A and B are shown apart, each in its own frame.
With several copies, the nearest count.
Chain A
Amino acid sequence: MLRMTGWEEKLDPNLRRMAERVVPGMRIALPVDYAGVSMAMTRPLIERGAGDLDLVCVPTGGLQVDMLIGAGLVRSVETSGLSLGEAGGAPRFNQAVKDGAIVIRDATCPAIHAGLMAAQKGNPFTPIRGLIGSDVLANRPDWKVIDNPFAAGSPADGPDPIVLIPAIHVDVAIFHAPMADRAGNVWIGRRRELAAMAYAARTTLVTVERIVEESLLADEITAAGVLPALYVSEVAVAERGAWPYGLWGEYGADTAELQRYAKAARSAEGFADYMRAGALEAAQ
């Protein structure tokens, strides 16, 4: 496991406290690059050091997942894709796959959404079309195929097989959003996969750009984009908390930084150096 000492005490105490909610062996849901990744929580999670994590990418992953893998905290990743986008492949992930150091559960985006939907509805599964004949399905013994009981055709048409995705329940969902109010209502706008993650999670940890004083549920216009406090366990402010990713409607991605990481993290040593240097920078 990556050891990074001398900077932990510089981390935001609120984020450190939130990271304590994560214990070894938990299943953690993390959002797609552009939906609001709480990059601010990455170092507190690494400092916390709770390992054997099973990550669920909703529905794909990037920098944060690569860093947690690089830090040795990850046991498995369920994802439909993992890369640094324009900055190329995810180096610590790719290495870990090659080394067999992590279990990879390849999925397809709508199957991850289907699993979360099942959890949201309290259902054991959600059906999904497609997938039949793919090696994605062939490598997922946890998914099942049944004959559609509503098949319309005549018996001569034969059965109509359909895949069932089991519910994805997670221990913790972690994401970043533009704002929250004092009651803990979080404004997620049209990034409704963040709500799906929270519905499916026992604990939801949110970092935000800012706290607003008026209730986000007080007027119908902002209420339409709110994840209610009912689903939110804790909120902490982390300005530019998605950096180097962007946050929709707030700021763009820092592609140069992603590329810098992509280059540095090609080796384990380069990754460790990057994390150390970045930590010092962050502490300044």
Chain B
Amino acid sequence: MIASVTPREILIATIARLLDGVHHVAVGASSPIPAAGAMLLRALKARAGAEPVRISILGSVEHNFFTNGSTELFDCAGQGRIDAFFLGGGQIDGQANINLVGAGDYPRSSVRWPGSFGSAYLYFVVPRVILFREEHTPRVFVEKVDFISAPGVSRPGIHRTGGPYALLTGKGLFAFDRARPGFRLESVHPGHSLGEIVEATGFAFAHDAAPPTTALPDPAILALLRGPVLDDLQETYPDFAAQMRREIAAAADAA
């Protein structure tokens, strides 16, 4: 039953698609949806007998494949050994600048967020950075961020082997065009509309007159996600996995 696909499953399946072709993806310990997307890709590649996908979950003891302290993630990225990473932001603007520090005048921000973490480095050296933020409101997607934790684009001559690849929100999927630069709406998630997205986005973006709907996972992928991937997920994100199982059950009941 297609109707029973949950919004989160669409996000997870979309992330797996965005990650297609990567060999090593790093995911934050508190990023269960990106982790689920990476795990789904890994399962798909394993099923197809393709080259394995490596997932490093940061801050996790069980899934910590690093042995050189918290510097190793950054070293590893600097060596070009990490193909994809996820970043969010309290604010994200149309140039793909992200703000993880605070709203208002720096440093006495009216709203203070935790801080830039590794973004000011990783955004430059990880080839495929996926911006992921479920909340899609004008508060998040602003014309210009109040503080640039990490810039979306750099002028020619700046050493940069990585940068923004896509922006995934609770309403739609955008690709980032580094040449223009700017976002282009690729697809609208089921239940949302172009008009709603324009309304909720504080920056201008390119789009077709009638953008397609975000593709739903086909039944085989959905079965993989609800089976072995959810089991994998359970080990690291037990609360999230339980919540997903409840959502899936609720969606099935409703359908």
Contacts and interface: CB of A to CB of B under 8 A. Distances in A.
Interface of A: 32, 34-35, 58-60, 79-83, 85-86, 89-90, 93-94, 97-100, 103-104, 106-111, 113, 117, 119-123, 128-139, 148, 157-162, 190-196, 199, 217, 223-231, 248-249
Contacts of A60: 114-115, 117
Determine which residue in B70, B108, B110, B154 has the highest number of CB atoms from chain A within 10 A of its CB, and name it.
Answer: B70
A81 B61 contact: no
Given A110-B118, A129-B125, A228-B66, 16 more contacts: A82-B114, A93-B112, A110-B71, A113-B70, A120-B78, A121-B74, A122-B78, A129-B124, A135-B101, A136-B120, A139-B106, A139-B107, A158-B156, A192-B67, A195-B69, A229-B65
The SS class assigned to the B binding surface is loop
A62 to B, nearest CB: 9
B38 interface: no
B67 A111 contact: no
8 contacts: A32-B70, A100-B108, A109-B74, A111-B120, A122-B125, A130-B150, A135-B148, A160-B159
Contact of B30 (A85, A94, A98, A217): A85
Contacts of A109: 70, 74, 117-118, 121
A130 B125 contact: yes
B243 interface: no
Nearest to A128: B121
Interface in B69-117: 69-71, 74-81, 100-102, 106-110, 112-117
Place the interface of chain B in its size category. 35 or more
B71 A160 contact: no
A191 B69 contact: yes
Contacts of B54: 230
A138 B101 CA distance: 14
B182 interface: no
A271 B135 CA distance: 31
Nearest to B70: A193
Contacts of B191: none
B149 A135 contact: yes
B119 interface: yes
B157 interface: yes
B71 A190 contact: no
B114 A81 contact: yes
A59 B108 CA distance: 21
A131 B150 CA distance: 7
B158 interface: yes
A117 B109 CA distance: 31
